[in-house]
Structure 1
Amino acid sequence: MGYKQCNGDHTIFYRHLQDRVTILAVYVDDIIITGDDTEEIALLKERLSKEFEIKDLGLLKYFLGIEVARSDKGIVLSQRKYVLDLLTEAGMLGCRVAPTPIEQNHKLCSESGKPVDKRRYQRLVGRLIYLCHTRPDITYAVSIVSRYMHDPRTEHWEATLRILRYLKGSPGKGLWFKAHGSTGVEGYCDADWASSLDDRRSTSGYCVFVGGNLVSWRSKKQAVVARSTAEAEYRAMALSLCEMIWIKRLLVELHLFKRAPMKLWCDSKAAINIANNPVQHDRTKHIEIDRFFIKEHIDMKSLELSYIKSGEQLADFLTKGLGSKEWNNICNKMGMIDIYRPS
């Protein structure tokens, strides 16, 4: 029996039996059982029913606000009901639709406007944070408005309402998972240098794919001020690598990882050169731990760093606001679809 603790409430147990895997995910009193061993799953259900009072709801359709739709083409995860309930609570069901969740080249800062109701703002942003579990397209916008939860202003509130207006146009949009015949780990990382107007810290963004399906993404302001674009990109690269290693270890434990190097795409040639060329390391003492960390995995041939043009960088939407054309293009490449939209 294997064991993995994800957080305080969410626990995953997994068991290997003759190269087969059974997974039991527990969140408080909600349980998901999955795997490729039907006999083991039936036995596990029987044992659980003897120890606890449980109810088998059949194939997974709804879990913690996440809706699961299946077809021969794959599985779609969405939070349509959650979005509609959120719009209803905020009185935004009849609002005008926004093409993107945040304005391109926005100038939000801590002094943007007059103070607003903090409690109402925090409740709305908190619900949007949970929605990010299936909506990577709003992750950057939510990360921006969540920075001001301690002292929200009118422009912050307007930016939050814009996210709702964007959701109104596609409440059923979700992630599409389909079989591509591989379980390779591939990541994209990006950084927007000195983007925060409050403290000039950069924003890191990454997204990780397993077998061509998006499984992890993040948009986060860096903990320290970067003195150059290359430094900001390098820190984003290290953050992405940490997530990819965690996913790789999980796949190894589940006997799903094939021995092949992970691939990380970056649009900064300077950051890639620093990672590959030890001669330049004396110029990067301020990011010494990150450079040793990345170089170690390159030397072990467990990581391949590759350059990608900025126009093809999928992590772009996790570090900055984009135009509607670029936004829709990236969402399509991320595997986001709306099965509820009329064809």
Structure 2
Amino acid sequence: MYILIYVDDILLTGNSSSDINRLLKNLHSRFQMRELGALSQFLGIQSISTTTGVLLHQKLYAQRILERAGMQSAKPVPSSSCCKTILTSKSHEPYENPQLYRHLLGSLQYLTLTRPDIQFVVHSLSQHMHHPLHQHFEGLKRLLRYISGTLHLGLPLDRGPLQLKGFSDADWANNTDDRKSISGYCNYLGNSPISWQVKKQTTVARSSTEAEYRSLAAEAAEVIWLRRLLEDFHTPQTTPTIIYCDNTSAIALANNPIYHARTKHIDVDCHFIRDSIHAKHVTVHHICTDDQTADIFTKSLPINRFKTIISKLTAALPH
């Protein structure tokens, strides 16, 4: 059995109904509590049983965000951001209501728990919370318009082989203000997306190879943590976890046991990925850029490409 406790909310699951009922009876005898039956909602996240597993979504929460913004009747758009728009801090037109901007973005950060398709845009807009400009609020309104048209999307958790795999990508010198790159990764357990991240790199990468290599290192650390967590859940990964990367130079650097003078400018701690490969915890494979799922976490994409990737990360609520 597994018990998830958050303050006074408890989620209980297991593979033996009799043992669960026995534990519930024991808890009722010791504490004042209510039993709400099968899982339908937990911490604002709703759950729907499907033929293949469960679908987690935050439709009601997203609707409340739209109501706070006064955009519940907004005209939907097909993608969360525009490829031609570049967010910067160099404009001189501050948004007159920065509290509203911060409030909406803070709420959207919680929505990313079941909506990986909006993670990149939320990350980008959050970098301007201290001094939002009009162009940033316009980007936020476009994101809200996208959400209003995709309230039916959620996070699918499907049954199947519990094999871990990951995707790693980077966008070199993405930020026009400081020229720092963006790292992005996502991990699947079987066919279910279970973790993802968008993060600006802390230092300026001198090449696309370095940017991709740093992203690979961050993904390797996440994979090793997930492997240890899965062992606690009695689901050990018996083979090295495959990480897919679309940069052949970064893959060669990760697999090369020789520390080249040309890579001395890369922090030494990034090179632990080589130790991870040598210890057979991970293995890095090349993947075509068109099949790189993590692409959605590093940049704004054309509509067709955006829709292709979100179909691999989300699923629609059943009618």
TM-score range relative to shorter protein: over 0.9
Aligned residues: 318
Shifted more, 228-237 versus 284-293: the winner is 284-293
Measured in 1, the distance between the counterparts of 2:266 and 2:33 equals 51
The structure 2 residue matched to 1:37, chosen from 12, 16, 33, is 16
Q: Gaps (5+ residues) in structure 1? A: 1-21
- The correspondence for 2:51, drawn from 72, 79, 104, is 72
Q: Residue 207 of structure 1 corresponds to which residue in structure 2? A: 186
Paired with 1:197 and 1:255, the residues of 2 have a C-alpha distance of 45
Q: Which residue of 2 aligns with 1:165?
A: 145
Instruction: For residue 76 of structure 1, report the CA deviation from its aligned partner.
Output: 0.5
Aligned partner (choices 149, 152, 156) of residue 176 of structure 1: 156
Determine if contact 1:114/1:154 at 8 Å carries over to the other structure. yes
44 and 112 in structure 1: CA distance in 2 versus 1, 3 angstrom threshold: farther
Question: How many angstroms does 1:297 deviate by?
Answer: 1.1
Matched residue, 1:130: 110
Which of 325, 331, 334 pairs up with 2:304?
325
Q: Give how far 1:110 is off.
A: 1.2
Q: In 1, are the aligned partners of 2:227 and 2:237 still within 8 Å (CA)?
A: no
Look up the match of 1:338: 316
Residue correspondence of structure 1 range 16-95 to structure 2 within 5 A? 22-95=1-74
Matched to 1:296, the amino acid is: D
Shift of 1:45: 1.8
1:79–1:131 contact (8 Å) kept in structure 2: yes
Partner of 1:99: 78
1:148 to 124, 128, 131: 128
Residue 30 of structure 1 deviates from its aligned partner by 0.9
| Residue aligned with 1:148, SS | coil
**In the superposition, relative to structure 1, how do residues 113 and 52 fare at CA in structure 2: closer, same or farther (>3 Å)?**
farther
Change (3 A) 1:113 1:26: farther
Q: In structure 1, what is the equivalent of residue 288 of structure 2? A: 309
One-letter amino acid of the structure 2 residue matched with residue 337 of structure 1:
A
Q: Cα RMSD over matched residues?
A: 1.4
AA paired with 1:236? S
CA contact (8 A) 1:201 1:226 kept: yes
Deviations 1:185-239 (A, max 9, x none): 1000000011111111100000000112100011111111111111110110011
Q: TM-score, normalised by structure 1?
A: 0.89
**Structure 2: distance between partners of 1:234 and 1:202:** 11
> Given the two structures, how large is their TM-score scaled by the length of structure 2?
0.96
Please give the alpha-carbon distance, in whole angstroms, between the structure 2 residues aligned to 1:268 and 1:213: 24
Task: Give the corresponding residue for 1:278.
Answer: 257
Hey, what does 2:225 align to over in structure 1?
Answer: 246
Quote the Cα distance in structure 1 between the aligned partners of 2:306 and 2:269: 31
